[in-house]
Structure 1
Amino acid sequence: MDGSSPAIHGSAPQHVFAYGSLVDPECLDQVLGHRHAGERLAARLVGYERITTAAYPFPYIVAAGGRSVDGVLIMDLTAYDIQALDRYEEVDKGIYERRPVEVEVWGCGPRTMHLQAQTYVACPALVASTSG
């Protein structure tokens, strides 16, 4: 990991998998600076683990085979929205990095769908600073 995040391409809508404070619609709207009108779908991210520790006020995720994280897929975010989320997640300070992922989404009929999204994963410095 080099701490850089994927580029934001054009004006195509982006989807973000949220698992912590951004699951709350009011928090999301405050971070974005406007009401998010896009869909929010129950989702699962396989191959990651959610970590909560007294040493850091927010949960974070790390890659972990055989584990999964439940959360919300926030649909149809603009490039400006993604930039606002990057600021909130302190990507430029190396706290989190935005990473492309595939999430499982259900509630869209009888089948589980797999959709491309982005999510915020803890950078090694955050993990090291909060580990025992």
Structure 2
Amino acid sequence: MRLPYFFFGTLMDPDVLRLVLGRSPGSFSTAATLHGYARVRVANEPYPALVSAPGASVDGLLLRNYSDEDDRRIRYFEDFDFAIEQTVVETATGPEDAHFCGAISNIAPTDLPWSYEDWMLTEKDRFLQVAEIYMAAYGTLEGEAADKLWLDTVADLFGR
């Protein structure tokens, strides 16, 4: 059985997930909490990362129903700056194994918390433009070329 994805940042947003998957994501099936981590801003980026934080927790959503192509598109979107890791999240029915995208390289987590609600108000519209441009390159750009496209688009739209 395929593990669900635990989304804790921009992929919680149905509009972002629609662009990433290239289709309607339907509804998320489960709210979940990941203990032992905090969600923080990434320097010069409009998305968060998780950092180890004993005693802290991060609320998110589980994506249960996804295809192999959805998985490839999610991994492309997460780029080589992140690794797909396995963890245990808490749901209303108890603990459950899940995947999440953990930072591995090329990003600089800050000490500033990242708020989904604040992101929706201040950054979502521009982020959707970045995601649309980036995902339009799915299947044609990889690695450093894809990363350059992301960085250039964020710099253009966010002035970073």
- Structure 1-normalised TM-score? 0.73
Tell me which amino acid in the other structure corresponds to 1:126: I
Q: Could you say which residue in structure 2 is the equivalent of 1:115?
A: 96
Q: Percent identity?
A: 30
Structure 2: where are the runs of 5+ without partners? 112-160
Structure 1: where are the runs of 5+ without partners? 1-11, 107-111
What are the Cα deviations for residues 95-126 of structure 1, in whole angstroms up to 9, with x where unaligned?
111100111112xxxxx411111001111431
Instruction: Indicate the structure (1 or 2) with the bigger Cα radius of gyration.
Output: 2
Structure with bigger RCO (C-alpha 8 Å, 6+ apart): 1
Moved over 6 A (4+): none
Paired positions, count? 111
Report the aligned-residue RMSD: 2.0
Please say which of residues 45-54 and 113-122 is displaced more in the overlay.
45-54
Tell me which amino acid in the other structure corresponds to 1:32: L
Report matched runs for 1:12-23 at 5 Å.
Answer: 12-23=1-12
Flag the structure with higher helix content.
Answer: 2
Report matched runs for 1:21-100 at 5 Å.
Answer: 21-37=10-26, 39-91=28-80, 95-100=81-86
Q: Tell me, in whole angstroms, the C-alpha distance in 2 between the residues paired with 1:104 and 1:116.
A: 9
Flag the structure with higher strand content.
Answer: 1
Q: Tell me, in whole angstroms, the C-alpha distance in 1 between the residues paired with 2:27 and 2:2.
A: 10
What are the Cα deviations for residues 58-87 of structure 1, in whole angstroms up to 9, with x where unaligned?
111122222111111111222221111110
| Aligned partner of residue 17 in structure 2, secondary structure | helix
Tell me which amino acid in the other structure corresponds to 1:84: R
